[in-house]
Amino acid sequence: MREGDVGHTSDAVIALEEVTAAAFDMDGVLTDTASVHAAAWKRTFDDFLRTRQSSEGGRYVPFALREDYLDYVDGRSRLDGVRTFLASRGIVLPEEGTADASSLTVAALGDRKERYFLDCIRTYGVSAYPSTIALLKTLRQAGVRTAVVSASRNCALTVKAAGAAHLFDVRVDGRDAERLHLPGKPDPALFLEAARRMRTPPARTAVFEDSLAGVEAGARGGFGLVVGVDRAGQAAQLHARGADVVVSDLAELRAARRKEGEWTPGR
């Protein structure tokens, strides 16, 4: 299934003879929540950076909604996102969590971000990408098992709010990662756990990801097809991290079987 760098295409095919399971990232692939996460991260880090500048001096440089989000937190677990962004600014904080919201620790900043994100979800709700829902239905009709994979501890809540829980056989999320001590993306552990639960070898499993860390996880895990969903204009980076196919939306993909030299719909 790995045919090299095929670039953006409006006629990419998921070969149903080869793909028997599919693992979908949540934020940015299934649900239109990546922007909500980015806004919650910006509020969290900007509050922290302003407070730090006031107490320690120096120049205040706000969290960049695009560059900092994509480079340091997108696709990562919440605490890894905190650590990675702070490291980019040369900041190291204690790890220990606390119930005191004013405490400057990695865990406390992560908790703030989660509260801001949940506030947005409760206020504005969650929407799923119609093209992703359509592809999920097509794959399931063709007998392909499906999983949602996310570093978020709020995965179940978000998928349910999007009305998509019934479309997945398996869910692997941040709560599983914590319970099973699974490292976050770009380590492939979450996707490998999903393949294990679907009882399908990685080589016959497709991964759908929009983040650089997630695409790298799919490639490192030996998955048969890694699809990069380019919602942020980073096609080259997605290819460089290991995507076999890069599309701007999953509507550009077809699931089909080869019959007598022709592709026939896999419905």
* Residues recognised as catalytic: 25, 27
Give the Cα separation of 138 and 254 in Å (integer): 9
Q: Edge-to-edge strand order for the sheet containing 253-259?
A: 12-15, 253-259, 262-265
Of the candidates 38, 25, 124, 112, the one whose C-alpha atom is nearest the C-alpha of residue 74 is: 38
CA 122 to chain centre: 21
Give the Cα separation of 238 and 209 in Å (integer): 9
Contact between 184 and 211 (Cβ < 8 Å): no
3-state secondary structure of 117: helix
Q: Going by C-beta distance under 8 Å and a sequence separation of 6 or more, which residues neighbour residue 234?
A: 70, 212
Q: Going by C-beta distance under 8 Å and a sequence separation of 6 or more, which residues neighbour residue 70?
A: 211, 212, 232, 234
For residue 69 the two structure tokens come to 């989000």
Q: How far is CA 219 from CA 8, 149, 186, in A?
A: 18, 15, 9
Number of H helices, E strands in the chain: 10, 9
Give the Cα separation of 177 and 194 in Å (integer): 11
